[in-house]
């Protein structure tokens, strides 16, 4: 009889310790930091242990998606003890690669908070067996300001507007030359935007010699380049006065182009710095005096 009671108690204990823990939710998401296009997010992973003794959370893997595109992940590589008959909140960290969201920037800018889908896969060990627990959760993150900052960081690095060539169009007088300059506008983003404004200043030896502004805005398609024709009038005498003796030896004059552009992404304005230099043969100007 005594052995039967012991056997019965053991059976009860084992059966009460073999229940599968339950994923409840992820909660309390908070963006901790943003660095090098990586967004670090802290959250609580909530799980319920229905067993009468402690269980162990062996590992946990999280993946986060935006519109079915995987944009981030997180891992728990240490064991966590789960109290019996208790709901436990486990702090986890995961990272979101902001560049993976780049094609969605226009939509993300239009929303106060954006929906993300989190998939979790955890392994929890009891006395009898190890369970694999999967979970799916919808979460919302405020990423509008982060997206704006990411766009500004990418466009400030330059290379968006480059001089591709220059020719003399005509010489209206001995004192002036009309130059045609082709400027290549590069849209390196995977989405279209509107090129609203361009203001350019041309310098020779720190002296401004010409200005130019974009007449009409136009759309710049994703991952494409457009050639923008620029026409400026330069005072020949002023250029020659500023010419250094070495320039005549090298037979070239260098102009600096500085300015800015304004692009619109879903109504948001972003200022793009422009800086480049161009050179041409000084004989091009001196020939008009022969």
The pLDDT tens digits for 101-135 are: 999 999 999 999 999 999 988 888 887 778 888 88
pLDDT band, very low/low/confident/very high, at 149 (cuts 50, 70, 90): very high
Dump the DSSP string for 239-252. HHHH--HHHHHHTE
Give me 3's structure tokens. Answer: 């052995």
**Superfamily per CATH, domain 21-153:** Immunoglobulins (2.60.40.10)
Instruction: For residue range 11-58, list pLDDT tens digits in order.
Output: 444 444 567 888 888 888 888 888 888 999 988 888 888 888 888 888
Q: Which CATH superfamily is domain 159-289 in?
A: Immunoglobulins (2.60.40.10)
Per 3-state DSSP, what percentage of the chain is helix, strand, and coil (rounded to 5)?
A: 20, 60, 20
3-state secondary structure of 278: strand
Residues 13 and 128: beta-carbon distance below 8 Å: no
Which of these, 189, 182, 180, lies nearest to 160 by C-alpha position?
189
The answer to whether 72 touches 159, Cβ cutoff 8 Å, is: no
Contact present, 19 and 51 (Cβ < 8 Å): yes
Band of pLDDT at residue 192, cut at 50, 70 and 90: very high
Which of 273, 283, 279, 285 has the alpha carbon at shortest distance from 201?
273
CATH 2.60.40.10 domain extents, the chain: 21-153, 159-289
Dihedrals φ, ψ of 156, to 5°?
A: -80, -10
Any idea which of 68-77, 143-152, 162-171 has the lowest mean pLDDT?
A: 162-171
């Amino acid at each position: 009889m005594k052995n039967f009671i012991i056997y019965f108690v053991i059976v009860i204990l084992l059966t009460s310790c073999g229940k599968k823990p339950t994923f409840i939710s992820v909660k309390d998401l908070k963006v901790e930091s943003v660095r090098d296009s990586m967004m670090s997010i802290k959250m609580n992973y909530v799980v319920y242990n229905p067993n009468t003794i402690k269980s162990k959370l062996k590992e946990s893997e999280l993946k986060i998606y935006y519109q079915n595109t995987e944009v981030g992940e997180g891992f728990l590589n240490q064991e966590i003890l789960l109290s019996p008959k208790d709901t436990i909140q486990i702090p986890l960290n995961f990272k979101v690669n902001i560049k993976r969201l780049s094609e969605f920037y226009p939509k993300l800018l239009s929303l106060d908070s954006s929906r993300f889908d989190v998939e979790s896969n955890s392994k929890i060990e009891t006395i009898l067996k190890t369970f694999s627990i999967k979970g799916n959760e919808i979460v919302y993150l405020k990423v509008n300001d982060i997206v704006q900052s990411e766009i500004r960081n990418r466009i400030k690095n330059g290379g968006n507007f480059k001089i591709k060539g220059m020719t003399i169009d005509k010489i209206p007088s001995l004192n002036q030359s009309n130059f045609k300059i082709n400027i290549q506008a590069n849209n390196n983003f995977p989405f279209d935007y509107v090129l609203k404004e361009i203001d350019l200043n041309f310098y020779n030896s720190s002296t401004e010699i010409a200005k130019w502004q974009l007449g009409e805005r136009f759309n710049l398609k994703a991952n494409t380049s457009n050639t923008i024709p620029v026409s400026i009038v330069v005072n020949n005498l002023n250029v020659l006065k500023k010419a250094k003796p070495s320039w005549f030896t090298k037979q070239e004059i260098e102009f600096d182009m500085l300015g800015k552009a304004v692009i619109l992404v879903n109504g948001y304005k972003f200022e793009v710095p422009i800086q480049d230099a161009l050179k041409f043969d000084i004989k091009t100007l001196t020939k008009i005096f022969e």
